[in-house]
Structures are given as C-alpha cells and as structure tokens.
Amino acid sequence: MPSNPGTWLTTAARRKALDALRRRQALSARLPLLVEPDEVEMGARITRAKKIQTARIAYRIPEASELPDRLDAVLTVAHLPQLLV
C-alpha cells in the first residue's frame, strides 16, 4: 500500500493519460505510412483491366489439381513488395 494513495493515484492517472496521448500521436504519425494512395493504384488497376479486356484474356478458376503448381508463383508475388524494400 502506498504511503499516500491520493498522490499515487494522481501520478498513475497522469502517466496513463500521457501514454494514451503518446500512443495517439504515434498512430497519427504512422497511419499515413500504412495507407497507399488510391489514385495511383486505382489508375493502375483500370489500366490493367483494360489491357486484359482488350487482349480478351479469359478468366477461369483453376482446377484443384492445378493449385499446387501455382503456389510458388503466388507466394513469390505475395512477398515481392517485401523484397523490393
């Protein structure tokens, strides 16, 4: 038991409030780094979609037997952004 519970409680509350403020400031500073701009990605997606449509590339769901052969390519593409950093 603290010798002065009121002071202890005030100090604990002040530190908790400061921690919350620091957490909020850190989040607001880092949040823009997590969000990618939509304009560039939306434009790129539309361009890719138009190229696929123009080339008349058919969309089909692969058979279950084809999936293991495609796994390596999918994982490579999924990890590509990490490799470029």
Note the pLDDT tens digit of each residue in 17-65.
999 999 999 988 888 777 766 555 677 778 888 888 889 888 888 899 9
Contacts of residue 70, Cβ cutoff 8 Å, sequence gap at least 6: 62
Alpha carbon of residue 54 to chain centroid:
32
pTM: 0.40
Residue 85 pLDDT exceeds 60? no
Q: Compute the distance between CA of residue 75 and CA of residue 83 in angstroms, rounded to an integer.
A: 12
Cα dihedral 27/28/29/34 (nearest 10): 70
User: For residue 78, what pLDDT is reported?
Assistant: 81
The token pair at 44 is 């790129």
